Amino acid sequence: MSENALAPPGSLFARLVAACGEDWPAYTGHPFVRGLADGSLAEASFRHYLAQDYLFLIHLARAYALAAYKADTLAEIKTSAAAVAVIVDIEMQLHVGFCARWGLDPAELERTPEAAATMAYTRYVLERGQAGDLLDLHVALAPCVIGYAEIGAALAAAQPEAAANPYCGWIETYAGDDYQRLARDAVATLDRLEAARAGPGRFESLARTFREATRLEARFWDMGLARSW
């Protein structure tokens, strides 16, 4: 999963992935992801991850609301609003559907304590958005938003018998047209923001942000796999 089909060569996202080195394949090919791919992931680990990811998505929606506030144009506001809609109406409903199988309702999910990995990643993204500009925020979001699309598409392509996989609903959501469209829009947004806002010498700072966010994503998988707090 090291080659990204969503971003053309030369795009900012492709260059950020290249600068990320081994941290990117460590995230997209994490043992948690491999367990989703073949259905071998322990149900308890998936359940722990889902509850934490539900909390993460609340903060992700807040981050896109912050992006709308930091936007300069109506088009940028609309892009951020569309992302909030996908998170609230599609991703969070996926979590609710899975958790309903175990008798967990949304109110119960929201009462779940945040794990350290959840707090570290969400606060990092929000801090970059508050301290930096719109480009900094979108770069911090990119490993999650675009990375999940890359992972979903790769797992779907490798699983012709996905219906037999207990995690096929998760895979289908991130491989689906709605989420793939969101990811392609995110790739285009990065290029547009770089052209408007990035001057000479800025790439190194953006790459650091991207790398840190990618490492925090991998630690989020670690948390789910170990069911740690």
Q: Is residue 36 within 8 Å of 98, Cβ to Cβ?
A: no
Q: DSSP for 61-97, please give it.
A: HHHHHHHHHH-SSHHHHHHHHHHHHHIIIIIHHHHHH
Residue 4 lies in a domain: no
Instruction: Tally the domains of the chain.
Output: 1
- Does the residue 7 lie in any domain? no
| Residue 148, pLDDT score | 93
Average pLDDT over residues 1-22: 82
Residue 3 within any structural domain of the chain: no
Q: Give pTM, 2 decimals.
A: 0.87
Is 6 among the domain residues? no
Angle, vertex CA 218, rays to CA 216 and CA 220, nearest 5? 70
Cα–Cα dist 67/85, whole Å: 14
Give CA–CA dist 163/183, Å, rounded: 24
CB atoms inside a 10 Å sphere around CB 44: 10
Assess contact for 171 and 156: CB atoms under 8 A: yes
Verify whether residue 168 is a known catalytic residue: no
Residue of 20, 76, 99, 144 marked active site: 144
Q: What is the pLDDT of residues 122-145, one digit of tens each?
A: 999 999 988 888 999 999 999 998
CATH number at 218 reads 1.20.910.10
Whether residue 78 lies inside any domain: the answer is yes
| H/E stretch holding 5 | none
Question: In this structure, is residue 1 part of a structural domain?
Answer: no
Question: For 48-99, how does the pLDDT look when each residue is reduced to its tens digit (9 = 90+)?
Answer: 898 898 888 888 888 988 888 888 889 888 888 888 887 888 777 777 877 7
Task: Examine residue 37 and state whether it is found in any structural domain, yes or no.
Answer: yes
Verify whether residue 217 is a known catalytic residue: yes
Domain housing 17: 12-226
